[in-house]
Amino acid sequence: MSVTAAKGFTAAGIAAGIKENGNPDLALVVNTGPRRAAAGVFTSNRVKAAPVLWSEQVLKTGELRAVVLNSGGANACTGPKGFQDTHATAEKAAEVLSIGAGEVAVASTGLIGVFLPMDKLLPGVEKAAKELSEHGGEKAAIAIKTTDTVHKTSVVTSKDGWTVGGMAKGAGMLAPGLATMLVVLTTDADLDAPVLDKALRDATRVTFDRVDSDGCMSTNDTVLLLASGASGVSPEYGDFAEAVRRVCDDLGRQLIGDAEGASKDIRIDVINAATEDDAVEAGRSIARNNLLKCAIHGEDPNWGRVLSAIGTTGATFEPDRLNVAINGVWVCKNGSVGEDRDLVDMRYREVTITADLAAGSETATVWTNDLTADYVHENSAYSS
């Protein structure tokens, strides 16, 4: 159901010819109202793609009527011409939808440093507009895939009659702040832009920002939340924020589950930290340790690599009080050898690492995946 699960939205996904293989590569999402409130969160990379610069700008009004998304090219590091291309994309969508270009966000994904084939993209926008449908969410989700093997959608519906739905793409270059991904969330809840903005930031902080596939932060990360108000219901903030968080959490898990070349999904629970920031810092350091990620790939409960990763952080801890469990077996106790590592069963896809900092009561969960030869192949065999 994707972005058209909530009332007040239409979407389309088509093949514009941006991808040379003819796969779908252009999506259009339109908020048919009555409301057009919107919020967005973008990459914290200082090298930002043209569509990120554009969309940050148009979102300042707190309103969006449409989003154009393309795969097949990131339009990042493309200079003034790249920005003009994004602008022309928004203008074309505005023209065919009879709205203003300032009401159109643009998101792109694919190879950095190449120009988009505008002779294909602009006719594609016209074609997509003709195919807009209240059932188009699935096709839109398919059209934004790059190296994703599956498309990703999620929906949470409230018993009070409102819905939050969304779609995501992302498979590599996933790192906090944000993961490399395009995400569009829609809701028919009747809420204004400041509330959407707060709910979105509260959600991404504990979901997408804690998904770290390969430590590489993208130039194009974009998460948008559009509200149509079409349900006529204005939910309590807490209920709405929880629904947004659940959709983001689900999509984030789908991103990790489809990470390039991955064979293991690794859940890192940092517990008993002095502060939540400490817990996140330790979790990210563990998530980025290539040697640990290789060991997990080999089903080797190599807890020494967890400790050496924690040791590089500024978190509060004493080395001789650290404890580490892998899949529930406390293989490291008080910074030294704990239970027998042969007791750890690592046959299944999901692996849980619990790192006990023994320094307080704060926790955080960070998701990553293993590092595999397939990841290397996928990222060395061709430009991506």
Helix (H) or strand (E) holding 256: helix 237-257
348 binds a copy of itself (CB under 8 A): no
Residue 180, annotated as binding a ligand: yes
Give catalytic status of residue 180 as yes or no: yes
Q: Which of 33, 60, 61, 113 binds a copy of itself (CB under 8 A)?
A: 113
Query: Whole-number minimum distance, CB 87 to a copy of itself, in Å?
Result: 16
Query: Whole-number minimum distance, CB 204 to a copy of itself, in Å?
Result: 17
150 binds a copy of itself (CB under 8 A): no
Of 138-146, 195-203, 333-341, 356-364, which part binds a copy of itself (CB under 8 A)?
333-341
Query: Whole-number minimum distance, CB 374 to a copy of itself, in Å?
Result: 8
74 binds a copy of itself (CB under 8 A): yes
Residue 333, annotated as binding a ligand: no
DSSP 63: B
Burial class (CB in 10 A: 0-12, 13-18, 19+), 88: middle
Phi, psi (deg, nearest 5) at residue 262: -70, 145
- Lay out the site mask for a copy of itself across 206-225 (x = CB under 8 A, - = otherwise): --------xxxxxx------
375 binds a copy of itself (CB under 8 A): yes
Residue 219, annotated as binding a ligand: no
Q: What is the C-alpha radius of gyration for the chain, rounded to an integer number of angstroms? A: 21
Query: Whole-number minimum distance, CB 148 to a copy of itself, in Å?
Result: 16
320 binds a copy of itself (CB under 8 A): yes
84 binds a copy of itself (CB under 8 A): no
Query: Quick check: 41 and 201 in contact, CB under 8 A?
Result: yes
369 binds a copy of itself (CB under 8 A): no
Strand order, beta sheet including 26-31: 9-14, 26-31, 66-70, 104-108
6 binds a copy of itself (CB under 8 A): no
Catalytic residue among 78, 153, 180, 186: 180
Within 197-338, strands assigned E span 222-227, 265-273, 323-326, 329-333, 336-337
Contacts of 248 (CB under 8 A, 6+ apart): 166, 183, 185, 203, 204, 207, 208, 223
Query: Whole-number minimum distance, CB 281 to a copy of itself, in Å?
Result: 12
Q: How far is CA 26 from CA 22, 220, 295, in A?
A: 11, 16, 39
Compute how many residues bind a copy of itself; rule: CB under 8 A: 68
Residue 327, annotated as binding a ligand: no
304 binds a copy of itself (CB under 8 A): yes
Within the chain, strands assigned E span 9-14, 26-31, 37-42, 66-70, 104-108, 152-157, 163-169, 182-187, 222-227, 265-273, 323-326, 329-333, 336-337, 350-356, 362-369
233 binds a copy of itself (CB under 8 A): no
Annotated catalytic sites, by residue?
180
Annotated binding-site residue numbers for substrate: 146, 169, 180, 260, 379, 384
